[in-house]
């Protein structure tokens, strides 16, 4: 992509439902890119005819970066192009990183990636939702007059759900943006597991510099320095749906429980309709804790794909932790619409 005409790439992405300001942030942020390759472009007769986006990250094991990898996203080929071009883009991406990963993915991904992947985990990521207000149930209704009528009733949408009444934020600090206090939670907990490592720069790019969302930092006030933190965010265009991500010592379930209670109280006070989070199907302790807090598991799960790249010895183990900062899921709130597989 670094050799392609940026204007032509942006024009192509705009024609494939990637808004110009999102494309600028997502692929042309020099502070995040740091000369890393951000995609593979197919150019035919001077025009862009296919694209596969790449989001670079480090996979850690034993507290050290074990591989330079990338999430794939925005995979598309113009329908007039010859068949097989999607495969060609994916094969070219393998030469750029130690491994290429995908979580969920669009129709092209789910059709092609299983043919290329060295490992596929069909139900790897579990989506969880905490309904906060009555409006969270309206998308579940069958299409028709009743659904349309209720969707216009703002007062009905804002009726609180009873189990959030006694939540408390005592002892938890919540600040807008990415707080400088949370530098300590990035990279301080050496993990022996095989999982992505997201540093401050990655989180800043995903949640602060992204033009589609606004975020808040949450930590236990008495921790100095903080060991466990939570980030919550919502869409700038509609603040009904919220998302939640934990970082730092995420196996400390006592701290996670304290943070969760404070986050639920905060989002409820912000008139949030529903709070969403995600976990690997391997994170049994975390999911059990969230279930006790009222979170419901959604039926729809996301597949996880591993494709070895330039490192042919790359482990194909599934990640022990999954969340909304994986791939480009963070700003895509349309996937939270409950009618899509509750």
- pTM above the 0.85 mark? yes
pLDDT tens digits for 308-327?
A: 999 999 999 999 999 999 99
**Cα separation of 106 and 118, whole Å?**
19
Residue 161 burial (C-beta neighbours within 10 Å; 0-12, 13-18, 19+): middle
Tally of structural domains, the chain: 2
- Shared domain for 141 and 34, answered yes or no, is no
Domain residues for the domain of 224 are: 126-300
**Reported confidence tier of residue 141, pLDDT bands at 50, 70, 90:** very low
Q: What would the pLDDT profile of 245-270 be if each residue is shown by its tens digit?
A: 999 989 999 999 999 999 999 999 99
Q: What is the pLDDT of residues 101-138, one digit of tens each?
A: 999 987 778 888 888 999 999 999 999 999 888 755 64
- Using DSSP's 3-state secondary structure scheme, residue 192 falls into coil
Handedness of CA 79, 84, 87, 88 (dihedral sign): negative
Does 276 map to a domain?
Answer: yes
CATH, residue 287? 3.40.630.30
Predicted pLDDT at 190: 54
Whether residue 219 is predicted with pLDDT greater than 60 in this model: the reply is: yes
Is residue 228 in a domain?
yes
Task: Say if residue 239 is in the same domain as residue 289.
Answer: yes
End-to-end CA distance of the chain: 37
23 lies in the same domain as 73: yes
Query: How many Å apart are CA 27 and CA 103, to the nearest integer?
Result: 19
pLDDT (mean) for 295-306? 92
Give the sign of the dihedral formed by CA 90, CA 93, CA 94, CA 100: negative
Which sign does the torsion angle of CA 146, 151, 153, 156 carry?
positive
- In terms of average pLDDT, the best of 83-87, 197-201, 214-218 is 214-218
């Amino acid at each position: 992509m670094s050799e392609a005409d940026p204007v032509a790439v942006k024009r192509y992405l705009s024609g494939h439902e990637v808004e110009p300001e999102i494309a600028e942030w997502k692929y042309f942020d020099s502070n995040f890119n740091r000369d890393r390759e951000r995609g593979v472009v197919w150019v035919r007769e001077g025009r862009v005819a296919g694209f596969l986006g790449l989001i670079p990250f480090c996979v850690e094991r034993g507290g050290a970066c074990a591989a330079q990898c990338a999430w794939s996203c925005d995979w598309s080929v113009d329908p007039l192009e010859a068949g097989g071009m999607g495969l060609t883009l994916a094969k070219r991406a393998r030469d750029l990183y130690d491994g290429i990963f995908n979580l969920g993915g669009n129709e092209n991904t789910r059709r092609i990636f299983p043919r290329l992947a060295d490992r596929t985990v069909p139900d790897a990521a579990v989506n969880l939702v905490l309904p906060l207000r009555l409006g969270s149930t309206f998308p579940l209704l069958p299409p028709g007059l009743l659904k349309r009528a209720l969707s216009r009733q703002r007062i009905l949408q804002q009726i609180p759900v009873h189990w959030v009444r006694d939540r408390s934020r005592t002892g938890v600090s919540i600040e807008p943006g990415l707080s400088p206090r949370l530098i300590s939670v990035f990279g301080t907990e050496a993990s022996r597991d095989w999982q992505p490592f997201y540093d401050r720069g990655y989180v800043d790019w995903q949640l602060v510099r992204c033009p589609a969302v606004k975020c808040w930092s949450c930590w236990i006030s008495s921790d100095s320095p903080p060991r466990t933190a939570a980030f919550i965010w919502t869409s700038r265009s509609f603040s009904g749906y919220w998302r939640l991500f934990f970082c730092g010592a995420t196996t400390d379930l006592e701290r996670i429980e304290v943070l969760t209670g404070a986050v639920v109280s905060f989002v409820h006070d912000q008139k949030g309709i529903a709070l969403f989070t995600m976990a690997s199907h391997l994170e049994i302790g975390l999911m059990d804790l969230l279930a006790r807090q009222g979170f419901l598991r959604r039926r729809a799960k996301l597949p996880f794909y591993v494709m070895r790249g330039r490192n042919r010895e790359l482990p194909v183990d599934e990640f022990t932790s999954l969340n909304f900062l994986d791939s480009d899921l963070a700003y895509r709130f349309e996937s939270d619409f409950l009618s899509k597989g509750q």
